[in-house]
Structure 1
Amino acid sequence: MRNLVFYILLLSLSACKDDYKRSADVSTVFIEPIVKDSLLSVRAIDYDKEYIYYGSSDHFGKRGLNKQFKINITELELDNSKAHYKNVLTYNDKPLHFRAIKAINGNLFAISIANPTRLYKLHLKSNKPKLVYEEINEKAFYDSIDFWNDKEGIAIGDPTDDCISIIITRDGGESWTKLLCKDLPKAKEGEAAFAASDTNICIVGDHTWVATGGKTSRVLYSPDKGNTWEVYSTPIIQGKETTGMYSIDFYDEDNGFAIGGDYTKSNDTLANKIRTKDGGKTWEIVANGKGPGYRSCVQYIPNRGGEELVAIGFKGIDYSNDSGNSWKHLSDEGFYTIRFLNDSIAYAAGRGQISKLIFR
């Protein structure tokens, strides 16, 4: 009898496992707004257990995920709302525009685009940002930031000389050093990067991939946290200032995906989705001539074996369950960037909103 019960239990577990596999494919997405503000234009988000952090067109800020109970002694009122803090930083009385942020080790890093580039470090329990890097150059335009660990991080931007701009910290973000062009692959004419979703950089362990775009769209690769670099060509659409990779993601050291296109021809689906299985050395076009068209961000869904992807842009949300070979359009709701919390929940942001996405 004991063996019979054990056998039945195994059959039940096996059936449940098979049912889970069959039901794991995403068929719909539910969108729950967290912040609605017509003045927002968010292309960079991050999160922890308490807050969503974001960069917008005139500030960077954080929005509480949980209600906070406060007593306003002056007004003798009770407040049980979600905290929302904004950091408006200016240069020559004009607000700086932030499209790249990273929350790590109790600190938030936010880097502004254009000239002057300013990188701030803000302790997550503070409201006083500290300037840790400044670059004054008419060509300066920074696109993305990420960290390998608590001490070492990287930010990338358009060329100011004859290479992609790369700055690196090795002391937890207290100081940053710009790499010399002699130590980097030379940029080609019209090669730059897009500050579209803060996903030009992808890090897996010590491995780093940087996606460029424009008239030339390639992948810069470092196996050792930015100490040495090489460059790989890609077959993605390129040749114009508005073409190329807008976003790159890797599931592991070998399997990666990049998406983009031409945002001025957002419905075009030719050569705008590429995949690698050898760490970025070689790439192949997938779903050629099929949806989605231009998208500004792509991310692997965590813990799904590198087979499931979500791509978003101002034309909507799309999902693939076969490593990008085919896609299903889930929503026309437009966003610029997305980050997954787990295998079914993500935070996304775009024009006028930051939202929670639930994939079912």
Structure 2
Amino acid sequence: MPTTAYGSTGTTANGSGGQAAGASAGAAAPAASGAAAMLAWQLKPSGTTARFRGLAAVSRSVAWVAGSKGTVLRTSDGGRSWRDVSPPGAGALEFRDVEAFDGRRAVVLAIGEGEASRVFTTEDGGASWTESFRNPDPKAFYDCMTFFDRRHGLAMSDPVDGKYRILSTADGGRSWKVLPRDGMPPAQEGEAGFAASGQCLVSAGTRDVWLATGGGAHARVLHSGDRGRTWTATTTPIPAGDPARGVFALAFRDRTHGLAVGGDYRPDQASPDAAARSTDGGRTWTAAGVPPPAYRSGVAWLPHSRSAALAVGPTGTDVTTDAGRTWHTVDTGSFDTVDCTPDLSCWASGEKGRIAGLGPGHH
């Protein structure tokens, strides 16, 4: 999908390879009880005005952001300071997704038509980068990435000749190959992904992956249980039928429990039914009884919680403490994406260099 406004699809997915989605339920009580009261974002000055739609939260200390003008930043001190580790010569690229395995290894995705879609990897904290993929097909437009583990990951392109294209890596992003398209169902006319938050392609566990769509007659979620080789498509109750509407982000805390958020990204348009939930691995979706009040582009489960999650967008942050049945606004600041870590912290990032943290270590 074109990069105007919220563009095509970018994905930070589950931060570093599904760490948030695969969390256990050990701390459900403190995460959910009084969640609204404890949700106070602490802004972390980034020293830049780039828009960070890509975010990979590794821990309460370590996080990566990727954004406009080829910008990549990394912190190792909880956001008190940020190191500019942007790939050399990437200033014309739009980074919309970053997947990080730790403070040294990360993969970033640049979006756009043809050769504008690229993947870079680093193994030394961003001191040096290797371009591991440059899209040769002018009809392809890559949007998002996700990793199942440190080696196996996928990236997705908007439909090419009527089907979404899936790119696969088995060596941590160092090399990529296009998967066969025969297991991918046809795309709807006008359907594409949104590169709004790096969360249009997300994974949980070692084999399950979900792809979020919009723009077509129906907003759909596609699921694969075999690392992207075969897919099934399910309609969601989130409105579509317009290039600006659909599912913008997904979060799965395990193979069965998922959240979807989206709406209409145009600020002058209402976004009813902007959230939905699934309890069967994405086979069916139920609209939230009380959805967020406006378009939301990012979503993440709170660490180790079975019932609490955050959704973010340009007009605020919402929390659910009942697994997506009802949402309540707790902050009105602008963010594009959100990601949480096993050590009980959450991070958010967005326009004008905005980065924030939540939880222990964020003051």
Q: What code does the residue aligned with 1:26 have?
A: A
- State how far apart, in whole Å, the 2-side matches of 1:25 and 1:52 are: 23
Q: Which residue of 2 aligns with 1:12?
A: none
**Structure 1 residue aligned with 2:96, among 79, 96, 99?**
99
Specify whether residues 19 and 356 from structure 1 end up closer, same or farther in structure 2 by C-alpha distance, changes over 3 A only.
closer
* Distance in 2 (alpha carbons) for counterparts of 1:279 and 1:19: 24
Residue 277 (structure 1) aligns with = 279
Length-normalised TM-score, structure 1: 0.83
Residue deviations 1:157-203 (CA, integer Å, cap 9, x gap): 21232111210011222210112332311111011000011011221
More displaced 10-residue stretch of structure 1: 29-38 or 53-62: 29-38
Matches within 5 A, 1:228-243: 228-243=230-245
Q: Which residue type is aligned with residue 200 of structure 1?
A: C
- The separation in 2 between residues aligned to 1:271 and 1:354, in whole angstroms, is 27
User: Given residue 295 of structure 1, which amino acid in structure 2 is its aligned partner?
Assistant: R
1:147 offset after TM fit, Å?
Answer: 0.7
What's the TM-score once normalised by structure 2's chain length?
0.82
Mapped partners of 2:294, 2:170: distance in 1: 39
1:290-325 Cα deviation digits (max 9, x unpaired): 5332100111112221x1121100000111111222
| Runs of 4+, deviation exceeding 6 Å | none
Which runs of 5 or more residues in structure 1 are unaligned? 1-16, 68-80
Q: Does 1:299 align with 2:300?
A: yes
- 1:154 positional shift: 0.5
**1:39 alignment partner, SS class:** coil
Q: Does 1:260 align with 2:245?
A: no
Q: Number of paired residues?
A: 328
Offset, 1:85: 2.1
Q: Does 1:221 align with 2:219?
A: no
Alignment-mate amino acid for residue 106 of structure 2: L
1:5 corresponds in structure 2 to none
Q: Which has the larger radius of gyration?
A: 1
Correspondence 1:276-355 to 2 at 5 A: 276-287=278-289, 290-305=291-306, 307-342=307-342, 345-352=345-352, 353-355=354-356
Residue 270 of structure 2 aligns to a residue in which SS?
coil
Aligned with 1:156: secondary structure? strand
Give 1:263 shift: 1.0
- Paired position in structure 1 for 2:44: 34
Q: Percent identity?
A: 28
Preserved CA contact (<8 Å) 1:59 1:96: yes
Q: 1:348 to 1:141 in 2, by over 3 A?
A: same
**Per-residue deviation at 1:95?**
1.5
- What letter is aligned with 1:100? D
Deviation at 1:208, TM superposition (A): 1.0
1:63-212 maps to which residues of 2 (within 5 A)? 63-66=74-77, 82=81, 84-90=83-89, 95-104=92-101, 106-114=104-112, 115-116=114-115, 117-205=117-205, 206-212=207-213
From the two aligned structures, give the one with the greater strand fraction.
1
* CA spacing shift, 1:83–1:303, aligned 2, 3 Å: closer
In the TM superposition, what is the alpha-carbon distance from 1:19 to its structure 2 partner? 9.2
The higher relative CO (CA closer than 8 Å, separation ≥ 6) is in: 2
- Shift of residue 43, structure 1, vs aligned partner: 0.3
RMSD: 2.8
